[in-house]
Homo-oligomer: A and B are copies of this chain.
Amino acid sequence: MKVAIIGGSGYTGGELLRILAGYPGVDIEAVTSRQYAGKKVSAAHPNLEGILDIRFEEPELSGIAERADFVFTATPHGFAMEAAGTFLDAGLKMVDLSGDFRFDDPATYERYYGIPHTAPELNEKAVFGLPELYRDTIRKADLVANIGCYPTTAILGLVPALKAGIIEPGHIVVDSKSGISGAGARPTPMVHFCMADESALPYKITSHRHMPEIEQELKKVNPRARISFVPHIVPVIRGMTTTIHTFLREDVTGEDVRAIYQDFYRGEPFVRIWDAGEVPRMSASRGSNYIDIGGFGVDSERERLVMVVCQDNLVKGASGQAVQNMNIMCGFEESAGLKTIGVHP
C-alpha cells in the first residue's frame, strides 16, 4: 500500500515515519513539508538517517492523491477540512490527526477552534478515531478523525466506570500531565527549555480544546457527565499521565473496579490494565502504542475513586493510534507495524 503523509516535519509526522518505516508492506510514497521541501527526512528526524532515504516534497495535493492509496494529514487545524475532499474524491482513505473532524457538531469546533468549519458534509461522514470504542464504524470509514492525546486517556480511563454507573457523573476531575512534545515542534516561549524544565505548569485551565472532545464522548455514556479538565506540561519529552479523580456512587473495592475495566477491555491489543493499587509509569509505554490504566484507588471513607492512565502522547496519543486506525480501515492486522516495545528506563 502506498501511503502519503501531509505535514511530515513535525513530531507527529516524524512518528508516522518512524512507525511506517518499520512496517513491511507499506510504502511511503510521499511526505510533504513546505519548510523542508527538497531535504532528506533525516534533516528533520535524525533517527531516520540511514533508514529512510526519501525527501520531503511540496504539498501538491492532487498530484499526491494520484500516487497514494492512503493519506495521513498531520497538519495544523484548518488544513484537513480544506484538503479532505481532494483525497476522498480520488478514492483514498484518510486519517486526519488534527481537530478538524472530531466533533459531531461543527459548531463546537467553531467555538473552540475559532474558525468556521468549511466541510460540514465531510464532517458528518467522519468517524471518531478511537478504536476501542468505534472499531466497527472505523472499519467502514473513509475518513477518520484521529482523536486528541488528552481525550484518549480521559475517555478510555472513564468510560468503563461511567458506564458501570459507579461514579458521580457530575463531579469528574481529569488532571493531565503531558510531555512537551504535545505542544509541537515550533519553538515558542512556553517550550523554551528554561521555561519548561523544573516546572509543572497548568495551562488553559478552563478552556482547553480537548475538553469538549472528552465531554462529547462521555455525555454519550451519561448525559449528565460534567468534566473538570486541567492540562499541564511537565518536563518530559514524550509521555502522558492522566490522573482521574471521581466520587463513588456505590460501595466498591479497587478490585471490583479493576474487574470492570478488565472485562471492558478484554482482547484489546493495546490497553493494559494494571493491578489495583499499582500505578503505571510513563516509561512502560514510551515509544510504544500501549495505553496503561491502573491505580483503581478507592477511599471508602471519602467515597472516592482514582484512576491513573499513561501513554506516549505521540504514539497512542497520536501517530500510533493513527496507524492503528489505518490498519482497521484497511482490514490489516490491527497491531501490524505497532509491535515496538516501550523503552524503559
A245-B245, A340-B340, A344-B45 known; A206+B298 contact, CB < 8 A: yes
B residues in contact with A344, CB < 8 Å: 14, 18, 45-47
Total identical chains: 4
A175-B175, A241-B200, A272-B50 known; A193+B180 contact, CB < 8 A: yes
B residues in contact with A304, CB < 8 Å: 206, 228
Q: Which residues of A contact B (CB under 8 A)?
A: 11, 14, 18, 21-22, 45-51, 171, 173, 175, 177, 179-181, 185, 187-189, 191-203, 205-207, 226-228, 230, 232, 234-239, 241, 243, 245, 247, 272, 274, 279-288, 290, 292, 295, 297-299, 302-304, 306, 308, 339-345
- Top 9 A-B residue pairs of the complex, sorted by shortest distance between their CB atoms: A47-B342, A46-B284, A47-B344, A187-B187, A194-B345, A177-B200, A206-B299, A205-B297, A206-B297
Q: Can you offer 25 A-B residue contacts whose CB atoms are under 8 A? A: A14-B345, A18-B341, A46-B280, A47-B288, A171-B247, A173-B245, A175-B230, A180-B194, A185-B345, A187-B187, A191-B193, A193-B193, A193-B197, A194-B237, A198-B198, A198-B286, A199-B236, A205-B306, A226-B302, A226-B303, A228-B299, A232-B243, A234-B235, A287-B287, A343-B343
